[in-house]
Structure 1
């Protein structure tokens, strides 16, 4: 070997291996990333609180709140299923709550759909049909469209309430009188036609705005009653059978619907399609 002068030299490399002490060397990166994420979330929260309105913040809060009701009203027991069995009574199909005729849903109770058994439930369905028929008339003509701007409806324990109210630029009556405006005659004719879908009794209530206390004679009582009587007369002229009207009431300014009792919105009439069990 020594005589071979052109032989390649043999090179021996020795590597020193240092044993690392686990993965603790990168843990600070994870902690830092968590800190940065938390700070981003914090600053985003601060920005949202400063850049949004109260209504928008409520919407955000509602979005993150759970909306799945757990055992709200399905039964009367205290077990996991809230009752003995889903077939423990005469069960009706319902979305979500499994309510039945004996234990109706909260929505039905609010609408009065469950009181009085099947007859009352059928009456409530009829009230809803009348409500839909009334509101659907708005697309027929510009006259109906303008008239229905004065009308809102709601179903209560007493029945279907059709509220007819003054608009700031279009009153239902001449000022401080029971002389009807043309729009009220249109509404009365519309009511007479729509209410003919049922034979339920009716009640007519009159309400007026408050007047200044400096008046010598406050007209709120006779004016509210006279306006209720006028609306009854207009509906009967339009074809409503007189025997269907069970009562006429004037409530003066005692039941305002706005914080300001003198606002024109409090000038209103109510035609109530009464339930048969009332």
Structure 2
């Protein structure tokens, strides 16, 4: 009998899977989700580092469905409460046209363009005086020996110029209001410097704390007397007496350093007041 057969022919078809590997395409979806989550995480870390507390509150209020966005909660009508997260300078919001100057990290809020522009010009003038005093743009008005006694800061009250004792160089004779030559020199420089503006001037006297066992502890009288003596030195240097707004003695109640008994707390603060301050 021949090998050939007239029986049915059986054909087997083999199904070939796609080229996505043994896991299919699910890993791509998982990887994309992971990358998106990491990007969101790093964006959150950057926002926490690059924004202020006020800006973070504005962002949180914007994404909260139960808290309305308003000027009270977020500081402005925008998503970031009127602030730009890329800079500490508070720029005017779209449509308002008001330039909001700042004092350090604190924004200054105004209701009109005129008030904001006037305040910005005043802040700029105070900053210029500070730069002149410390020779940030050239030669200083004060000697290096006297400059060691002086620091300054711009606050919402005005330009605060702090004159303080050094370990081996004091501003006044011990336990008295008799000024040293360096105090007279600094006062003369400040008097000439203040003639370029018309702001009022406030003077505050501070002292280091003394032992509670001391029988004679005239810190209040002495701090006030030293502030009064600084007033006389400024007037002798050419400052108009009518520009003196107030003189106060704070005793040892406002130490400049954590150790209240440190000589660094013996100081005089001469404040060039902003125009809206009494």
Scaled by the length of structure 1, the TM-score of the pair is: 0.64
2:223–2:249: 8 Å Cα contact kept in structure 1?
yes
2:235–2:241: 8 Å Cα contact kept in structure 1?
yes
Counterparts of 1:55-74 in structure 2, within 5 Å, are 66=46, 72=55
Higher relative contact order, chain-length normalized (CA < 8 Å, sep 6+)? 1
1:113–1:121: 8 Å Cα contact kept in structure 2?
no
Counterparts of 1:55-204 in structure 2, within 5 Å, are 66=46, 72=55, 78=62, 99-100=91-92, 108=103, 110=105, 113-115=108-110, 116-136=115-135, 140=139, 144-204=143-203
Select the structure that is richer in helix: 1
- Counterpart residue number, 1:207: 206
Inter-CA distance 133–125: structure 2 relative to 1 (3 Å threshold): same
RMSD: 3.7
Counterparts of 1:266-277 in structure 2, within 5 Å, are 266-277=265-276
CA distance in 2, matches of 1:138, 1:174: 34
Inter-CA distance 214–126: structure 2 relative to 1 (3 Å threshold): same
CA distance in 1, matches of 2:274, 2:90: 26
Query: How far apart are 1:143 and its partner, in Å?
Result: 6.3
Inter-CA distance 138–184: structure 2 relative to 1 (3 Å threshold): farther
CA distance in 2, matches of 1:139, 1:190: 16
Query: How far apart are 1:268 and its partner, in Å?
Result: 0.4
CA distance in 1, matches of 2:89, 2:254: 36
Q: Deviations over 1:81-129 (max 9, x none)?
A: x9669xxx9x99x958773166878955735655552222221111111
Query: How far apart are 1:266 and its partner, in Å?
Result: 0.3
CA distance in 2, matches of 1:98, 1:142: 32
CA distance in 1, matches of 2:88, 2:174: 51
- Counterpart residue number, 2:236: 237
After alignment, is 163-172 or 113-122 more displaced?
113-122
Query: How far apart are 1:78 and its partner, in Å?
Result: 2.8
1:205–1:269: 8 Å Cα contact kept in structure 2?
yes
- Counterpart residue number, 2:246: 247
Query: How far apart are 1:141 and its partner, in Å?
Result: 7.5
- Counterpart residue number, 1:13: none
1:114–1:121: 8 Å Cα contact kept in structure 2?
no
2:146–2:185: 8 Å Cα contact kept in structure 1?
yes
1:206–1:268: 8 Å Cα contact kept in structure 2?
yes
CA distance in 1, matches of 2:193, 2:179: 20
CA distance in 2, matches of 1:199, 1:95: 31
Query: How far apart are 1:72 and its partner, in Å?
Result: 4.0
SS of the residue aligned with 1:270? strand
After alignment, is 182-191 or 95-104 more displaced?
95-104
1:166–1:268: 8 Å Cα contact kept in structure 2?
yes
Unaligned ranges ≥5, structure 2: 1-44, 64-75
- Aligned residue pairs total 209
SS of the residue aligned with 2:245? strand
Unaligned ranges ≥5, structure 1: 1-64
